[in-house]
């Protein structure tokens, strides 16, 4: 083995752990702050900037380069290992967790930038400049590629954000141990022993952290939520948390409340039954989102329904709905019904490619708080949904709060109306969620007034927990002149010109 091989192997390992550290921090920022595209952009840009600053500062290290390099590896191992655990623990006590995540990004970026020039200086006596620079950078970049593949296909989906960083920290540390014992820069046995003792002490710290990581995360999660946490799971796409108080359970995805068993009927019955009332005998139904199974539960009350295609991106959510006793009780085991076909894929892609046609499309997706979610509220998306509807077919989408995010709600209404569907707004006061809204579109040429009158005069033919004929009048009434139809002030949301996420984020959520 060449004398520099161990150094290059170490750089391959640190390149791997370094890039995954960036992805871990960007994912954490997305979960805790929101708007994933912005967070990924800022975190990676910030880390790259401080990598440059670290590289510049390395010129101030005039001697003992090897000791500095190894110390950098030790520090990176600890910081990377505890990045996620410390963030979750801190989130239970400190509202502005994003500041801590950005601080970690700055520190880790600086240290990564420091180590590459030091490695080149360590290698310069063994290889000429052009080979030295290219080979050092080559191994680091190769490690980055493997790190990206590892994070996307192994780390996040199988190990989660809790344990992936510990694997990376250990890899980084093992690389440092290999350097200490095999790289020809230490001649004194005393110095090698001292560094080995330090290395194995760090390994012990990482090991203890990994052993108690889950308990630390649960401790942080418990402090973040008012009620007892009964489930905390990291999927490839989001953090899933269930809490319990007395006889009721709350479901959160990425810290956003999805429903509470106390009053979820006030949401799901309004989501489903008004749309079904515009159909005489609907047979084929599409649900986009709705992985908890509650919308499917309501649809299965209609004898005419023959098939329900439920498209939800995250298999972890739909599996919970199929297997977890609490969710199975709430959704009445709907996702295990033979009429329900669960497909775990992106809703936009499904609508774009499917050859199926539907009587009713139920859209129960997360709020449009980011650019990637905004496309699921775009005019292009609603136009594709319209093409899938049979004559007189109905599409309904949850549309956030009409009072706390009025512009976002109106944007969704205007966007769906722009497809030529006849549209109306609906709303309801949900005890645990506040005032919430939906937008319903029908594939016919009726006026808004005619649709409202039809709904207000309808009669429910299936059992419900909250919704009745009086409720149908309530959900279609907003009061005098509360909403405006000023096309100049509210823009239509488009895939290539997304605006709804900005309207949503600028809502009066501080009053919520």
CA distance 291 to 327: 10
- Per DSSP, helices labelled H in 324-378 are 325-330, 347-353, 371-374
Q: Which two tokens stand for residue 326?
A: 């609490």
Q: Which residue has the tokens 């600890």?
A: 78
Contact 415, 436 (CB under 8 A): no
| Distance of alpha carbon 139 from alpha carbon 16, whole angstroms | 10
| 237 C-beta neighbours (distance < 10 Å), count | 15
Give the list of residues 6+ apart from residue 173 with CB closer than 8 angstroms, or none. Answer: 73, 74, 77, 199, 202, 203, 206
Instruction: Note if 346 is an active site residue.
Output: no
3-state SS of 418-469 is CCCCEEEEEEEEECCCEEEEEEEEECCCCCHHHHHHHHHCCCCCCCCCCCCH
Q: Distance (Å, rounded) from C-alpha 62 to C-alpha 339? A: 72
Q: Give the CA dihedral 90, 92, 96, 100, nearest 10 degrees.
A: 10
The three-class DSSP label of residue 277 is helix
Helical residues (DSSP H) of 82-227, grouped into ranges: 83-91, 97-123, 129-150, 160-182, 189-224
CA–CA dist 476, 137 (Å, integer): 63
What is the 3-state secondary structure of 211-245? HHHHHHHHHHHHHHCCCEEEEEEECCCCEEEEEEE
Q: For residue 244, count CB atoms less than 10 angstroms from its CB and return exposed for 0-12, middle for 13-18, buried for 19 or more.
A: middle
Give me 227's structure tokens: 């009620």
Q: Which residues of 86-123 are buried (b: 16+ CB within 10 A; e: fewer)?
A: bbbbbbbeeeebbebbbebbbbbbbbbbbbbbbbbbbb
User: With contact defined as beta carbons under 8 Å apart, do 423 and 433 qualify?
Assistant: no
Catalytic residue from among 364, 367, 485, 486: 364
The count of C-alpha atoms lying within 13 angstroms of the C-alpha of 365, restricted to the half-sphere facing its C-beta, is: 29
Helix segments in 239-370, DSSP class H = 265-277, 294-299, 315-323, 325-330, 347-353
What are the tokens at 181? Answer: 């014992």
- CA 132 vs CA 10, 145, 178, 475: distances in Å: 15, 20, 20, 70
Catalytic residues: 364
């Amino acid at each position: 083995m060449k004398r520099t091989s161990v150094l290059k192997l170490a750089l391959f390992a640190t390149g791997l752990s370094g890039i995954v550290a960036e992805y871990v921090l960007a994912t954490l920022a997305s979960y805790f702050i929101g708007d994933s595209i912005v967070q990924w952009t800022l975190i990676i840009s910030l880390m790259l900037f401080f990598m440059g600053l670290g590289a510049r500062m390395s010129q101030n290290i005039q001697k003992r380069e090897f000791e500095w390099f190894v110390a950098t590896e030790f520090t990176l191992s600890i910081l990377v290992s505890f990045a996620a655990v410390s963030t979750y623990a801190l989130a239970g006590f400190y509202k502005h967790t994003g500041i801590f995540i950005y601080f970690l990004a700055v520190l880790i970026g600086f240290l990564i930038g420091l180590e590459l020039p030091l490695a080149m200086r360590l290698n310069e006596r063994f290889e000429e400049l052009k080979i030295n620079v290219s080979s050092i950078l080559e191994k680091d970049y190769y490690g980055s590629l493997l790190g990206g593949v590892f994070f996307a296909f192994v780390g996040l989906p199988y190990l989660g954000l809790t344990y992936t960083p510990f694997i990376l920290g250990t890899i980084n540390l093992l690389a440092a141990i290999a350097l200490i014992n095999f790289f020809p820069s230490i001649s004194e046995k005393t110095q090698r022993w001292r560094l080995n003792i330090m290395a194995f002490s760090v390994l012990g710290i990482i090991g203890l952290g990994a052993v108690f990581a889950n308990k630390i995360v649960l401790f942080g999660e418990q402090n973040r939520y008012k009620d007892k946490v009964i489930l905390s799971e990291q999927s490839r796409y989001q953090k899933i948390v269930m809490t319990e108080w007395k006889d009721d359970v709350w479901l959160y995805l990425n810290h956003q409340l999805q429903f509470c068993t106390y009053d979820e009927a006030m949401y799901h019955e309004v989501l489903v039954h008004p749309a079904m009332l515009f159909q005489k005998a609907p047979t084929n139904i599409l649900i986009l989102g709705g992985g908890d199974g509650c919308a499917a539960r309501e649809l299965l009350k209609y004898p005419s329904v023959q098939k329900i295609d439920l498209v939800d991106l995250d298999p972890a959510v739909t599996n919970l709905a199929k297997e977890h006793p609490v969710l199975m009780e709430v959704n009445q085991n709907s996702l295990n019904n033979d009429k329900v076909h669960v497909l775990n894929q992106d809703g936009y892609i499904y609508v774009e490619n499917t050859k199926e046609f539907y009587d009713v499309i139920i859209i129960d997706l997360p709020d449009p708080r980011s650019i990637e979610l905004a496309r699921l509220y775009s005019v292009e998306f609603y136009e594709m949904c319209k093409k899938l509807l049979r004559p007189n077919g109905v599409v309904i989408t949850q549309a956030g709060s009409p009072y706390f995010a009025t512009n976002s709600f109106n944007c969704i209404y205007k966007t769906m109306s722009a497809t030529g569907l006849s549209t109306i707004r609906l709303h309801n006061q949900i005890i645990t969620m506040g005032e919430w809204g939906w937008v319903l579109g029908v594939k016919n040429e009726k006026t808004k007034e005619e649709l409202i009158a039809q709904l207000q005069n309808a009669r429910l033919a299936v059992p419900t927990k909250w919704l009745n004929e009086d409720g149908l009048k309530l959900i279609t009434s907003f009061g005098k002149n509360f909403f405006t139809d000023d096309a100049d002030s509210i823009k239509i949301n488009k895939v290539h010109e997304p605006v709804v996420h900005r309207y949503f984020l600028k809502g009066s959520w501080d009053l919520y």
